[in-house]
Amino acid sequence: MSFLKKIYSFLNSRDDNKNSSDSFLKFLKSILGYNPQNIEVFKEAFTHRSAQKKDENGNSINFERLEFLGDALLGASAAMHLYYKAPGQQEGYLTKMRSKIVSRRQLNAVSKQLGLLDHLEPLNNHHNLGEDVNGDILEALVGAIYVDGGINAVQEFIQVKIIDPYADLDRLEHTITSHKSLILEWSQKTRNTIRFNTFDEQNAEDLQIFVSVVRLNDKVISKGRGTSKKKAEESAAKRAYYSLQKKIEKV
User: What is the per-residue pLDDT for 249?
Assistant: 82
23 domain residue, yes or no: yes
Q: Which residue has the higher pLDDT, 42 or 126?
A: 42
- What CATH number is associated with residue 159? 1.10.1520.10
For 134-154, what is each residue's pLDDT tens digit? 999 999 999 999 999 999 999
Q: Which amino acid is at 117?
A: L
Rounded mean pLDDT, 54-58:
87
Rounded mean pLDDT, 94-109:
89
CB 224 within 8 A of CB 242: no
User: Are residues 167 and 186 both part of a single domain?
Assistant: no
CB 74 within 8 A of CB 102: yes
230 domain residue, yes or no: yes
Nearest Cα to Cα of residue 86 among 167, 177, 178: 167
Nearest Cα to Cα of residue 210 among 195, 179, 231: 231
User: Are residues 110 and 207 both part of a single domain?
Assistant: no
Percent of the chain at pLDDT exceeding 90: 59
- pLDDT band for 21, please (50, 70, 90 cuts): confident
Q: Which residue has the higher pLDDT, 13 or 64?
A: 64
Rounded mean pLDDT, 68-95:
94
Does the annotation flag 67 for ligand binding? yes
d(CA 223, CA 43): 33
35 domain residue, yes or no: yes
- pLDDT band for 3, please (50, 70, 90 cuts): low
User: Are residues 141 and 29 both part of a single domain?
Assistant: yes
For the chain, what is the domain count?
Answer: 2
Q: Is the pLDDT of residue 187 over 50?
A: yes
User: What is the per-residue pLDDT for 139?
Assistant: 97
2 domain residue, yes or no: no
6 domain residue, yes or no: no
Q: Which residue has the higher pLDDT, 67 or 167?
A: 67
Print the domain residue range for 76.
12-172
Does the annotation flag 185 for ligand binding? no
User: Are residues 74 and 109 both part of a single domain?
Assistant: yes
Rounded mean pLDDT, 73-90:
94
Does the annotation flag 64 for ligand binding? no
Q: Which residues are catalytic?
A: 71, 139
User: What is the per-residue pLDDT for 11?
Assistant: 47
Write the CB contacts of 129 (distance below 8 Å, at least 6 apart in sequence).
48, 50, 207, 227
CB 214 within 8 A of CB 194: yes
Nearest Cα to Cα of residue 225 among 189, 250, 249, 200: 200
User: What is the per-residue pLDDT for 13?
Assistant: 45
Among 144, 172, 200, where does a domain finish?
Answer: 172
User: What is the per-residue pLDDT for 1?
Assistant: 54
24 exposure class (CB count in 10 Å sphere: 0-12, 13-18, 19+): middle
